Amino acid sequence: MEFIKVTKAYDKYIALIELNRPKELNALNLQLMGEVRDALKELDQDDEVRVIIITGNERAFAAGADIKQMAGKTTVDMWKTDQFSTWDQINKTRKPIIAAVSGFALGGGCELAMTCDMIVASETAQFGQPEIKIGVMPGAGGTQRLTKALGKAKAMEMVLTGKFISAEEAEKLGLVNRVVPVELYMTEALKLAKEIASMSPLAVQMAKESVKRSFEVPLEEGLHFERKNFYMLFSSEDQKEGMNAFVEKRKADFKGK
């Protein structure tokens, strides 16, 4: 891996993917995105890992797709590289992903954060879809996910003017889970990850799948999907462990079985 670093923490339950092109503000070139896709695919299959965190550095989560790499590209070039399959793959990750965002989360960087399941932001984080300023528009979910998170008026303004919003505003608008001082954003993301990692990983993944489903289907179908997952969890050892632990007044020890 040249442009990301992958490490594990908390009894290997938590995997941390750090975007690592600091000089370019973590601009997402094809190779970096390929590495993120491959790492997520591997971590999703890794039984030890329960929660994944994606982060950048204090100055930038990611300042967008690599403009220098894209500048000379034609429609045919873009079609042939089929970068969307990379993004689709990321979106298919079953384990919960937390984006720990500090500094710039712009364009593809904002889209990557929104593709994650939760966002913990530092007070210095800035979110934006500035593609309009370089003659294009969001292409990796920005017009859809931002609109679903913020509503039409705010999303439209951000997408059509390219203006950034602060972490504080992003929290007010419901884009991020919480905002903390810059020196604490990783600690806070790890805290959230640990809390989720102490639950049954099967229940967590099925619950994630069900919440995500609500964005895709009408309520009736979503409720049906939720019920199937709910029933399914009653065939897991974790369900027995969780409920028995409650009855026996002890802490549950979930094994993901």
In order of 113, 179, 249, the CA distances from 4 in angstroms are: 16, 24, 43
Residue type, 228: K
Catalytic pick among 56, 64, 107, 108: 108
Strand order in the sheet with 165-166: 60-62, 104-106, 126-128, 165-166
Per CB under 6 A, the list member of 14, 106, 159, 186 interacting with ligand DAK is 106
Q: How many residues does the chain have?
A: 257
Determine if 222 is a binding residue for ligand DAK (CB under 6 A). Answer: no
**Alpha-carbon torsion angle 51, 65, 151, 98, nearest 10:** 10
CA–CA distance, 171 with 124 (Å, rounded to integer): 12
250: Cβ–Cβ under 8 A, 6 or more apart, which residues?
none
CA atoms within 13 A on the CB side of 143: 8
Give 110 or 192: the residue with its C-beta nearer to ligand DAK. 110
Only segment of 40-48, 128-136, 230-238, 244-252 that touches ligand DAK (CB under 6 A): 128-136
Determine if 107 is a binding residue for ligand DAK (CB under 6 A). Answer: yes
Residues 131-150 that bind ligand DAK (CB under 6 A): 131, 134, 139-140
In order of 40, 63, 65, the CA distances from 101 in angstroms are: 18, 11, 16
Per CB under 6 A, the list member of 18, 24, 46, 226 interacting with ligand DAK is 24
The answer to whether 111 is a known catalytic residue is yes
Determine if 84 is a binding residue for ligand DAK (CB under 6 A). Answer: yes
Task: Give the interface size with ligand DAK as a residue count (CB under 6 A).
Answer: 23
Per CB under 6 A, the list member of 43, 63, 114, 207 interacting with ligand DAK is 63
The answer to whether 131 is a known catalytic residue is yes
Q: Minimal distance in Å, beta carbon 41 to ligand DAK? A: 17
- Kindly report the backbone phi and psi dihedral angles of residue 106, in degrees, each rounded to the nearest multiple of 5, phi listed first: -120, 150
Q: Minimal distance in Å, beta carbon 154 to ligand DAK? A: 18
Give 35 or 111: the residue with its C-beta nearer to ligand DAK. 111
CA atoms within 13 A on the CB side of 219: 0
Q: Minimal distance in Å, beta carbon 39 to ligand DAK? A: 17
Binding site residues, ligand DAK, CB under 6 A: 24-25, 27, 63-68, 78, 83-84, 87, 104, 106-108, 111, 130-131, 134, 139-140
Q: Name the residues annotated as catalytic.
A: 65, 108, 111, 131
